[in-house]
């Protein structure tokens, strides 16, 4: 009787835990794919990744030695890569778009030194894709600071 109850208990616990285990494994697999894609983008531009973050549907990486940023935005049907050589950028700032007092989009906006070149926008959050914010606000603040610090060190060493 005790053995039967124990076996039934183990089976119930396993069945309850299985969705969490599968979800976690799937998330880690997607994160690994994004990181590999991020490294590939950096390598295509003779760069590397010294720091990175993966969150939601995007990934960002920084090469502090080459002063470059690699970024990936994953959609349902494609991966949109972006590569930025920070020696061509004058400033970095956080830009957000709100609708009806709700955050709709969150970008890291990179302004080029050459005024004839368009600004680059790295999308950290889009309410149409992801319904709620997770760590995007903290992450965009961190990356804004990292990039601005690199830009300041670039300007200081150029003078």
- How would DSSP label each residue in 111-144? EESSTTSPPEEEEEEETTT-SS-SSHHHHHHHHH
| Cα gap 118→57, rounded to integer Å | 24
Q: Are 118 and 112 in contact (CB under 8 A)?
A: yes
| Cα gap 38→81, rounded to integer Å | 8
Q: pLDDT tens for residues 31-65?
A: 888 899 999 999 999 999 999 999 878 899 999 99
> How do the domains of the chain map onto residue ranges?
2-158
Say whether pTM exceeds 0.95.
no
* Mean pLDDT score, 59-75: 92
| Cα gap 121→136, rounded to integer Å | 15
Count CB-CB contacts under 10 A for residue 110.
22
Q: pLDDT tens for residues 117-149?
A: 999 999 998 888 877 778 888 899 999 999 999
Question: Which burial class, exposed, middle or buried, applies to 83 when counting CB atoms under 10 A from its CB (0-12, 13-18, 19+)?
Answer: middle
Give yes or no for residue 159 having a pLDDT over 60.
no
User: What pLDDT, on a 0 to 100 scale, did the predictor assign at position 158?
Assistant: 57
Percent of the chain's residues with pLDDT above 90: 49
Task: Give the pLDDT band of residue 23 (cuts 50, 70, 90).
Answer: confident
| Cα gap 43→49, rounded to integer Å | 9
What does residue 58 show for φ and ψ, rounded to 5 degrees?
-140, 165
Place of tokens 């890569």: 81
């Amino acid at each position: 009787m005790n053995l039967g109850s124990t076996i039934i208990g183990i089976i119930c616990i396993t069945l309850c835990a299985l969705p969490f285990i599968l979800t976690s494994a799937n998330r880690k697999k997607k994160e690994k794919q994004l990181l590999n894609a991020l490294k590939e983008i950096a390598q295509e531009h003779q760069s590397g990744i010294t720091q990175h973050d993966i969150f939601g549907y995007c990934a960002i990486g920084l090469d502090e030695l080459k002063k470059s940023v690699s970024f990936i935005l994953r959609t349902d049907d494609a991966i949109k890569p972006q590569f930025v050589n920070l020696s061509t950028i004058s400033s970095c700032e956080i830009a957000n778009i709100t609708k009806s007092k709700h955050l709709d989009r969150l970008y890291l906006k990179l302004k080029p030194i050459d005024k004839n070149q368009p600004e680059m926008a790295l999308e950290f959050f889009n309410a149409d894709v992801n319904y709620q914010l997770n760590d995007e606000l903290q992450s965009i603040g961190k990356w804004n600071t990292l990039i601005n610090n690199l830009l300041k060190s670039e300007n200081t060493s150029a003078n």
